[in-house]
Amino acid sequence: MRVAVIGGNGQLGREVASAFAHEGHAVTNFTHQDVEIYALESVRTSLAAIRPEVVVNTAAFHHVEKCEAEPGLAFAINGIGARNLALVTAETDAKLLHISTDYVFDGQKGTPYVEEDVPAPLNVYGNTKLSGEFFVRSVNPRHFVVRTSAIYGENPCRAKGGLNFVELMLKLSKEKTELRVVDDEFVSPTPAAQIAQQLVAMSRSTDYGLYHATTEGSCSWFEFASAIFELTNTKIRLEPARPGEFPAKVARPKYSVLENRALKSKSLSVFTHWKVGLEKYLARRAQTATLISA
Ligand SMILES: NC(=O)c1ccc[n+]([C@@H]2O[C@H](COP(=O)([O-])OP(=O)(O)OC[C@H]3O[C@@H](n4cnc5c(N)ncnc54)[C@H](OP(=O)(O)O)[C@@H]3O)[C@@H](O)[C@H]2O)c1
């Protein structure tokens, strides 16, 4: 298939491009320099050049504080940008795989969110991503709207200045003797590589719709940090932060764990437990370090 990846040099986009290429598909990577998704003509012209059968939209304005400061731009990219991609893919009968977020929920539920739960975003980022979901779902029937969470991977996240949580913890462990990490925010940390594999599996399917797509199980950021240090044998004093010790500038859900109910009901899920995903990421990281030092 001809596959277009939007946000092609991002943390997830790069992983998605290589997963589709690995399966033998003809992949074109669109960076922000190649396409401006909030401009319909830019989307139309870019996609017309390759006539993709599948478009994967990983592009977003997802720096939570910056979205709060620039709600118009956040809506233009996360809402109108998604609509433009849905319009053009609908015109050309292409499938659209669109990435969304756990931040469409308010975190009050306390048990994992399923696709039928009513979203109630707490901030501009979550609101504008939810608007993007609505546009995609109403404009192109051949859609997969894929909500995921707490992504980390081998490629840096462009919006967050490079280091993912795992790399940040390992870097801080070399600079400090003690670390305090929030213990009252719960997520399912999800490797970009697993999301990419999931998108490849979806691209073969016609079970269109809304999907939750994260690793199994959940942890607080403190528990995630503990697992990182345990698995890497890193000696550091790690303590849970006191509630309110690191006040967030923008409201965020305290519990945004997603249940992959729709994926499982269709036997489509490729996800492992979050800890298995972390073990694999760290093993690959160690292997790369060995190769570099050899
Ligand atoms: N990171 C997470 O923990 C997380 C969690 C849940 C959901 N998500 C969702 O996952 C997706 C991918 O995130 P990521 O971590 O891969 O982000 P990333 O590394 O920041 O990549 C985002 C990509 O989108 C591009 N982009 C931004 N605005 C654009 C525009 N107006 N037109 C065209 N391209 C544009 C960026 O290019 P420039 O950098 O050059 O602008 C970048 O290549 C996003 O949809 C995000 O909402 C992320």
Banded pLDDT at 197 (limits 50, 70, 90): very high
Q: Whose CA is nearest to atom 2 of ligand 1?
A: 151
pLDDT at 173 over 90: yes
- The per-residue pLDDT for range 217-260, each reduced to its tens digit, is 999 999 999 999 999 999 999 999 998 899 889 999 999 999 99
Q: Residue-wise over 159-191: b if at least 16 C-beta within 10 A, else e?
A: eeeeebbbebbbeebeeeeebbbbbebbbbbbb
Which residues, judged by CB distance below 6 Å to any ligand atom, belong to the binding site of ligand 1? 7, 9-13, 31-32, 35-38, 58-62, 77, 81, 99, 101, 129, 148-151, 157-159
Q: For 146, which DSSP code?
A: E
CA 268 to centroid of ligand 1, rounded, Å: 25
Give the pLDDT mean for 208-221: 98
pLDDT band at 212 (very low <50, low <70, confident <90, very high): very high
> Which of 115, 184, 101 has its CA nearest to residue 148?
101
Ligand 1 center to 59 CA (angstroms): 4
Residue 125 is a catalytic residue? yes
Calculate how far, in angstroms, residue 230's C-alpha sits from the geometric centre of ligand 1.
Answer: 30
Catalytic position from the list 38, 125, 255, 281: 125
Query: Which amino acid residue places its CA nearest to atom 41 of ligand 1?
Result: 32
Helical residues (DSSP H) of 107-191, grouped into ranges? 124-139, 165-175
Q: Is the model's pLDDT at 158 over the cut of 80? A: yes
CA of 234 to the centre of ligand 1 (A): 31
- pLDDT for the residue numbered 289: 72
Ramachandran category for residue 161: left, alpha or beta (phi over 0 → left; psi -120 to 50 → alpha): left
Cα angle: 168, vertex 174, 176; to 5 degrees: 90
The overall pTM is greater than 0.85: yes
